[in-house]
Amino acid sequence: MALKTTSTETRLTAAGEASLTSLPGVGPAVAEKLAARGLLTLQDLWLHLPLRYDDRTRLLSIADLTLGVPAQVEGRVVAVERGFRYRPLLRVSINDESGAMLALRFFHFSGAQAAQFQPGRRIRCFGEARPGSHGLEIVHPSYRFLAEEEIADLPAALDPVYPAVEGIGPGSLARIVGRALDRLPPDDTLELLPAALRAELAMPSLRDALLQAHRPPPDADVALFASGRHPALQRLAFEELLAHQLSLRRRRVALRAHGAAPVRASGKLSHLLEAQLPFALTAAQARVLAEIVADIACAEPMLRLVQGDVGSGKTVVAALVALRAVEAGKQVALMAPTELLAEQHLASFLAWLEPIGVPVAWLAGKVTGKARAAALAGIASGQSAVIIGTHALMQEAVTFKDLALCIVDEQHRFGVHQRLALRDKGLAGSKVPHQLVMTATPIPRTLAMSAYADLDVSVIDELPPGRTPVATVAVSAERRGEVIERIRVACAQGRQAYWVCPLIEDSDLIEAQAAQSTHELLATTLPELRIGLLHGRLKSSEKQAVMARFKAGDLQLLVATTVIEVGVDVANASLMVIENSERLGLAQLHQLRGRVGRGAQAASCVLLYRSPLSQMARARLEVLRQTTDGFLIAEKDLELRGPGELLGTRQTGLAGFRVADLIRDANLLPVVQRSSDALLAKSPELADLLVARWVGSAARFAGA
């Protein structure tokens, strides 16, 4: 949506978008180093906030120094000692009027630097005192020499310490940021939040917030800054969250502007499938299905995320929705990130749809030759109404006749480019297909509110009846023999088991049991069992053959890498052993555990770990041991790992906040949502400027 350029926008562009080479001391070489850190304009430097602050506003006597607390002292050089024990050493002793002595110790220094330390010279230095061999010492202090009669003023504000920029010293960087701050325009030019909103939230102006964040007064509560709770930082966090929210809302508006073909059907085919299912839909499945059916009946494109815990029944909901599109004479594409997962969907759809007369097409990288040509022809002619595949669905040679619904499973594994590529396969004039994205990784509410503001979210929060919770235990790898015996007993009773390893081959760099060596060990220890091996380097046909044997019960134990994390469904498998569980994240552990407990019999998961456990690993295993609720696990995972890893690195621009923290600032999200709606309705030009300030080029995929 093109907006008329306002005078405010012009002033902001002139003030904030000025090149850094306009600053004194920033030539092309320095600008290049700043650019490598993503610092291109004055505005980038304004938002490059300090990591911490040093208090050089006061002088302490050497006698009053406290261990471990950074402080500033002033004294005279008493003695200088250069030596070389294990490495070069410069030790400078100073004292002050208190009579106490302090050692300054340097390991990296030049001859010219050492020569400056002459007995009797006045020196002011800053650093953290610690115990030394001859009393207190500061290692590599910052310092400056004072002239004999010089009265050196103390700064009026705390000294900011910024995130490092390679090739630029901390002092130089602080001076560059300081010069950029001197160019801050007045409030009326810089401010983008409406005055009424700022008054409602009791927030300072942006100019005041930036100056407080970069130059806190000596009496500032440094702990509040460190925790991110200071009003200045909360002001900046709010604006950043608001900008991201606006970016996603604009993406949604841009998508809705395209329009879509309404998909309306009587539901005859989906009712046929429901009648043939050996189970009834849960209330949650029925509710989500109704939400999707209402969406696709509209002339605006659906963009809905369906999330549900492992085994909650998302696939059958997708099949029922697909049948609505088929009945309306349209095509449906279901894309999965791996061939193994896509093949699982293919098996389910074939079992459900073919008995009611709906053929299912298959397209993946391994489909070649005549089979590929036939698949492409069926898709192009419209003869194939339901097409299941991998990234192959997005290839240039694939042409749909009338694609009305795109279903993307485990959507966080795809980038924005890929979602766009599949959607564009269904472009018909100004109309685009409806999009349904699914994930078996429960998303915490705070993350969904901020990262998926462009989506309508449905939650299947109910497991099918008869599912029993998976009993989970954490066991030291030293007790591997006991675990192997447990597998022997379980398989002798007719049950099946998984043994999951993080790696395919042994590695000297990572101490992890590899699938191949574990397979050999178990085959030797359990010769009476039929044991299979599954990993990502097998050919697709080999993977399929191994999974078919395991599903048929021909294999009793399957040794695998995390390739089985999603999509594998074997009801008789009731025991899961996860090797090196301390190396995996909570979400991945929960996904793997979800491969068992899919039948009516009791299931168990054994988390094998190697000692010593880190504090985070211990916390993860304890969470898994205490609960099987995927949403509780997701909240804890967000708390432990942060949003970046949960969303996946491909979700660029959604988690890379400069100031905001989704956990700490969750209380801001409801007012962020309300404010974004109001700004888009009343002041779209301000919304554009906010997005440009905080998100910039990350908003370029506005139609995704």
Give the domain CATH number at 109: 2.40.50.140
Q: Alpha-carbon distance 510 to 488, whole Å?
A: 29
Within a domain: 209: yes
Collect all residues with Cβ–Cβ distance below 8 Å to 338 and sequence separation of at least 6: 390, 563, 566, 567
Out of 579, 596, 627, a domain closes at: 627
**Same domain for 78 and 46?**
no
For residue 473, pLDDT beyond 90: yes
Beta pairing, strands 52-54 & 122-128: unpaired
Within a domain: 144: yes
pLDDT of residue 703: 43
Digit-coded pLDDT (tens) for 410-466: 766 666 567 677 888 888 888 999 999 998 777 777 777 776 777 888 999 887 776
Domains: count for the chain: 4
Within a domain: 406: yes
Within a domain: 690: no
Nearest Cα to 459, choosing from 291, 683, 697?
Answer: 291
Burial degree of 196 (CB within 10 A; 0-12, 13-18, 19+) = exposed
Beta pairing, strands 101-106 & 88-95: antiparallel
Contact status, residue 436 vs residue 308, Cβ threshold 8 Å: no
Q: Alpha-carbon distance 220 to 342, whole Å?
A: 57
Helix orientation angle between 339-353 and 268-276, rounded to the nearest 10 degrees: 100
φ/ψ region of 641 (left if φ > 0, alpha if ψ in -120 to 50, else beta) reads alpha
**Same domain for 145 and 15?**
no
Higher confidence at residue 3 or residue 613? 613
**Same domain for 497 and 618?**
yes
For residue 209, the enclosing domain spans 7-53+161-227
| Residue 698 binned pLDDT confidence (cut-offs 50, 70, 90) | very low
**Vertex 111: Cα angle to 106 and 117 (nearest 5):** 65
DSSP 280: P
pTM over the 0.75 mark: no
**Same domain for 106 and 190?**
no
Query: Using omega within 30 degrees of 0 as the cis cutoff, is the peptide bond preceding 643 cis?
Result: no
Residues pairing with 54 in the sheet: 159
**Same domain for 486 and 615?**
yes
Tokens of 435: 């999009």
**Same domain for 213 and 295?**
no
For residue 654, pLDDT beyond 50: no
DSSP 230: S
Q: Alpha-carbon distance 525 to 406, whole Å?
A: 47
Can you tell me whether residue 630 is helix, strand or coil? helix
**Same domain for 489 and 420?**
no
What H or E segment, with its residue span, contains residue 256?
helix 231-256
**Same domain for 33 and 66?**
no
**Same domain for 116 and 179?**
no
Residues pairing with 30 in the sheet: none
Within a domain: 86: yes
Within a domain: 635: no
Tokens of 273: 């499938």
Place of tokens 């970069």: 214
Out of 436, 460, 484, a domain closes at: 460
Q: Alpha-carbon distance 327 to 265, whole Å?
A: 6
Within a domain: 688: no
pLDDT of residue 4: 37
Q: CB 130: neighbour CB atoms within 10 A?
A: 13
Out of 129, 154, 179, a domain closes at: 154
φ, ψ for residue 315 (rounded to 5)? -65, -40
**Same domain for 483 and 590?**
yes
Q: What is the CA radius of gyration of the chain?
A: 31
User: The domain spanning residue 405 has which CATH number?
Assistant: 3.40.50.300
**Same domain for 454 and 480?**
no
pLDDT of residue 538: 82
Within a domain: 493: yes
pLDDT of residue 650: 37
**Same domain for 282 and 426?**
yes
